[in-house]
Amino acid sequence: MATVRDGLSKVLAEYQDARQEDFTNHPLGKFIRGDLKEAIATASGEADRFKFKGSSGQGNWAKGPWVGIFNPVVTTSAQRGYYVSLLFREDMRGVYLSLNQAMTEAKEHYRSDAKTALIARAANFRALLGDQVRPFPALTINLAPKSPANDTAFYEAGNICAIYYEADKLPPDAKITSDLQAMIRLYEALIVGQAGSDVALDAEGDAPSDFHIEDATKFRLHKRIERNAALIKQVKKEKGCTCEICGLTFEKRYGPIGKGYIEAHHLKPIASLNGTKVAMDPKTDFAVLCANCHRMVHRSGLTDDIARFKKEHFHD
């Protein structure tokens, strides 16, 4: 496949017929999970930093297929948080590029009121973003669900903002790529805005005492990264569970209840965090620390230099 536009056109043209055929190992399903996903990842310019997933269903054809773009700061799947997605209408008359929310999480928390909660949260997100949503004027979307219980109906409720491409009027690939990259920038603006409003993340008082007010959002973003369960799991796999400063291993100290426990510390300097290019390599961009050392690193302000912190502050 040459372009994202070609891929979207292929799915729009072939999906309804494919749904009449066996789902298992169908070439169009493989195409959505493979070639289309990869084309979108390449066009985004974020193939190394974000996670991408294409879906045509699990075991059976989905009413509307999608490709999701996930920033690991927030989520690594469509089941949690918010993300960018290309959502196809059930009738295949078009596709939306949408900043959207996880319906699984909403269903778990709000049950029968999940759609109401998604709509309300979308309005709050738009208020947080303000005029930045203008390039994406579709504040409500129509995925043509045949039933209000369909996943597509919940994707409609979860839409924060979007842009619509009609099947017979797909714009040039350059326009789709430009829109995709602009939507990713908007996604990251929302992440920063959310971090700035999430006062609970720094309620423990472990920010350096000489922090200025403008540093608060960056500090909260730093904490949000460090509390991401999926990232912590990857960091533990790469670096183990022994504190890199004091050498504590929780399992040795506390027995079975400490097995597998450690905290992940993000080494990116707090001052440089702006929500656009946050390094996320579990092997090189994180340290593993016990809770005490982790908190002291934050208080010292030496978040990016563990060796210096250990030399200047740690006394065995």
The neighbour count for residue 251, using CB atoms within 10 Å, is: 15
Q: Tell me the average pLDDT across 140-150.
A: 96
The neighbour count for residue 73, using CB atoms within 10 Å, is: 24
| Listed range (48-62, 90-104, 145-159, 273-287) with the worst mean pLDDT | 273-287
What is the model's pLDDT at position 218?
Answer: 65
Q: What percent of the chain has pLDDT over 90?
A: 63
Place of tokens 């195409």: 31
The neighbour count for residue 306, using CB atoms within 10 Å, is: 19
Asked if the model's pLDDT at residue 260 lies above 80, the reply is yes
Q: What is the pTM of this model?
A: 0.76
What ranges in 170-212 are assigned the alpha helix state H? Answer: 173-197
| Listed range (47-61, 73-87, 164-178, 267-281) with the worst mean pLDDT | 267-281
- Tokens standing for 77? 């799947």
Candidates 311, 284, 313; CA nearest to 300 is 313
Domain with CATH 3.30.920.90 in the chain: 4-194
CATH assignment of 4-194? 3.30.920.90
Q: Rounded CA gap, 53 and 41, in Å?
A: 9
Candidates 214, 180, 236; CA nearest to 68 is 180
For the residues of 120-166, what is the DSSP string, one character each?
HHHHHHHHHHGGGGTT-B-SS-----SSTTSHHHHHHHH-SEEEEEE
Q: With beta carbons less than 8 A apart as the criterion, state whether 122 and 160 touch.
A: yes
Question: How confident is the prediction for the chain on average, in pLDDT?
Answer: 89
pLDDT classification of 213: cutoffs 50, 70, 90: very low
Asked if the model's pLDDT at residue 209 lies above 80, the reply is no
Q: Rounded CA gap, 158 and 106, in Å?
A: 9
